Amino acid sequence: ELVRINKYISDTGFCSRREADRLVAGGQVTINGKRAEIGAKVDLGDSIKVNNKLIGNRRRSIYIAFNKPRGVTSTTDETDRSNIISFIGYKERIFPIGRLDKMSEGLIFLTNDGNIVNKILRAGNSHEKEYVVTVNIPITDDFIKKMRRGVRILRTTTLPCRVERVSDYKFKIVLTQGLNRQIRRMCEKLGYAVTKLIRTRIMNVRLKGIGPGQWRYLTADEMKKINMLLANSIKTEEASALKGNKQYDGNKHRGKKHKRNGHDAKRK
């Protein structure tokens, strides 16, 4: 498989793609003894050197689906005894894609591929996440309607979403946002308390078949579908150029027909 020189260098863990481009532009990188050019492609058999020093082989990409139990923290900080990395005990360095709060359960991805992390997490990419939520009091039609329409939390209104009642105390919700403790905050605003929250799906991958505390590798078919879904995702660098604050919503920048109306101007 041929890959661009900046990705090859980044995949070895030597530096970021951006820094790799700087090294190539500065004439500090060689491919099989010849000075590398921006955009050059290489494969595993090539000899890649930076400042005359041979760099290691590309790391294999790791993609894991994990059923996080309640009480495990979605952090790589090993000073936190409940951290997800120590719990899994994987032999290579991996990190979670996004978060599930400590008291929530269910599906979370882990990987060593920083590029896919950025694409999945970018809010404007509208990648679906599905949850089954149990609350403390009976669910009303009004509650379902308000959850679907959007709830005012964290100085913003949540995006419209799909909500379906499962039983008197349980509902299913599909989000494309990732606000901090979003579902819990939405429920609290409407007078409900979450007693159990399980994420059952991320994009095309479902929790089914993975027991609490267990994990599996994502399959080739799952990764193929994920890559298709990510194909049109806005990249981190593009988003940074478009946004001036953390509340950037990439959906506003999709398509050529977007207009900046007075409401948008106020939000800026």
Active site residues: 101
Cβ contacts of 18 within 8 Å, gap of 6 or more? 6, 237
Closest CA to 58 of 12, 111, 7: 12
User: How many Å apart are CA 75 and CA 82, to the nearest integer?
Assistant: 9
φ, ψ (nearest 5 deg) of residue 38: -55, 130
The candidate with the shortest Cα–Cα distance to 120, out of 108, 133, 103, 105, is 108
The tokens describing 140, both together, are 């009303």
Rounded CA gap, 119 and 240, in Å?
Answer: 13
Q: CA-CA distance, 77 to 85, in Å (whole number)? A: 8
Residue 186 near residue 152, CB atoms below 8 Å: no
